[in-house]
């Protein structure tokens, strides 16, 4: 019942739907009036033939003839009555079998189905929503981010401007909200001021425009955007982005770290307060062929091995021999410097 009411409310929001409903009600009223008039004529003609019937019988005969069912249990004996029967039959064929079904489907059923579909993609979030991640564009980058957010059970919402696209993404299992990306009201409805993070991965121009609008709605929530052109970094930061990522450059740097050759060095890849995470290659170093216990890195240089990269897969460090894999190391900058030496 609650679902029906929500669908009906959404259906009645549209001015077109309200006008269509009025047309449908007018058509029903016209059909009722026509059935009543035919029933009156039925009684008049039957009285002329000396065959009185009840009013219920009159409506029964009219509806069966107009719907072309024509059970044949009640028929006229005179020509005038038979001509009247043909008029009722022809008008019923046009009205009940052509005009009414078309009008019902066009003005009520189809808009009702559209309203049901639209209700699956909401246009705002509940007022109590907070701590969620807002994404303004769906692409391979945001797709991977959504997968990670779902994996760690972080709430998120994907803002989509078009209803058709929103329904498609909804069918894929994504949490979407329909709204104009260039409207401040949209960001208010998705509670951007209570969000934990806003992520923008569209074009540089679109990200700049959306960042301006989002920053107007909130001054504290961090905004992370991607940039394809290095010249766009400063512009995005001026627009209000807390962090601008050049994914192409980051990918190139990551590939360069994996390229073999030259002097092996420990490269920082992350930091948590005063704890630094670095990455280095084991190939071509004295580390090859020895177990972690034999190396004694924690005792000698103050480095803890936290994991190994092997053929694109990260594995937690075990006391086994490795030859060509990458070693992730954690501790302070001095310790990683000792490891490099």
* CA–CA separation, 53 and 48 (whole Å): 12
**pLDDT recorded at residue 320:** 47
The CA-CA-CA angle for residues 317, 319, 325, to 5°, reads 55
pLDDT at 335: 53
What is the pLDDT at residue 300? Answer: 72
Strands 275-281 and 267-272: antiparallel
The predicted pLDDT at position 333 comes to: 55
Question: What is the H or E stretch that residue 5 is in?
Answer: helix 2-13
> What is residue 64's three-state secondary structure?
helix
Residue 240 Rama label (left phi>0; alpha psi -120 to 50; beta): left
Looking at residue 312, the DSSP 8-state letter turns out to be T
Distance, in Å, from the CA atom of 214 to the CA atom of 87, rounded to the nearest integer, reads 66
| Token output for 160 | 């989509």
pLDDT by 10s per residue, the chain, length 341? 445 555 555 556 666 667 777 877 888 888 889 999 999 999 888 888 888 888 898 899 988 888 877 777 888 888 888 899 899 989 888 888 888 788 878 777 777 777 777 667 788 898 899 999 999 999 999 999 999 999 999 999 999 998 888 888 988 889 999 989 999 999 999 999 999 999 999 999 999 999 999 999 999 999 999 999 888 999 999 999 999 999 888 888 777 766 655 555 667 777 777 777 777 776 666 667 777 677 776 777 777 777 777 766 777 766 444 444 444 544 455 555 555 55
Burial 169-207 (b: 16+ CB within 10 A, else e): bbeeebbbbbbebeeeebbebbbbeebebbbbbbebebb
The tally of CA atoms less than 13 A away on the side-chain side of residue 278 is 26
CA 261/CA 125 separation, integer angstroms: 53
Domains of the chain: 2-119 (1.10.287.70), 133-249 (3.40.50.720), 264-340 (3.30.70.1450)
Return the biggest CA–CA distance within the chain.
120
Smallest CA-to-CA distance from 180 within 200, 207, 157, 162 is with 162
Specify the pLDDT at position 20. Answer: 74
């Amino acid at each position: 019942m609650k679902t029906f009411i929500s669908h009906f409310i959404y259906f009645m929001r549209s001015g077109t739907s309200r006008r269509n409903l009025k047309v449908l009600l007018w058509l029903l009223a016209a059909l009722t009036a026509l059935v009543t008039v035919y029933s009156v004529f039925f009684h008049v003609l039957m009285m002329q033939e000396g065959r009185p019937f009840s009013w219920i019988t009159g409506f029964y005969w009219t509806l069966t003839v107009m719907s072309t069912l024509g059970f044949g249990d009640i028929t006229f004996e005179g020509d005038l009555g038979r001509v009247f029967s043909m008029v009722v039959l022809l008008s019923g064929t046009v009205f009940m079998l052509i005009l009414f079904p078309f009008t019902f489907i066009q003005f009520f059923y189809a808009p009702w189905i559209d309203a049901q579909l639209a209700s699956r993609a909401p246009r705002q979030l509940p007022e109590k929503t907070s701590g969620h991640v807002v994404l303004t564009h769906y692409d391979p980058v945001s797709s991977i981010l959504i997968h990670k957010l779902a994996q760690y059970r972080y709430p998120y919402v994907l803002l989509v401007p078009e209803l058709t696209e929103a329904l498609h993404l909804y069918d894929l299992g994504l949490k979407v909200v329909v709204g104009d990306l260039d409207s401040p009201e949209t960001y208010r409805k998705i509670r951007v001021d209570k969000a934990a993070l806003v992520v923008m991965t569209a074009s540089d121009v679109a990200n700049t425009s959306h960042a301006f609008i989002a920053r107007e709605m909130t001054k504290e929530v961090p905004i992370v955007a991607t940039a394809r052109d290095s010249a766009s970094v400063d512009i995005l930061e001026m627009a209000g982005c807390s962090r601008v990522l050049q994914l192409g450059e980051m990918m190139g740097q990551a590939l360069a770290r994996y390229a073999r050759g030259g002097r092996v060095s420990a490269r920082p890849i992350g930091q948590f307060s005063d704890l630094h995470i670095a990455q280095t290659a084991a190939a071509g170093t004295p580390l090859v062929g020895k177990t972690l216990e034999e190396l004694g890195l924690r005792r000698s240089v103050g480095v803890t091995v936290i994991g190994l990269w092997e053929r694109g897969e990260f594995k937690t460090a075990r006391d086994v021999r490795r030859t060509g894999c990458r070693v992730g190391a954690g501790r302070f900058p001095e310790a990683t410097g000792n490891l490099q030496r």
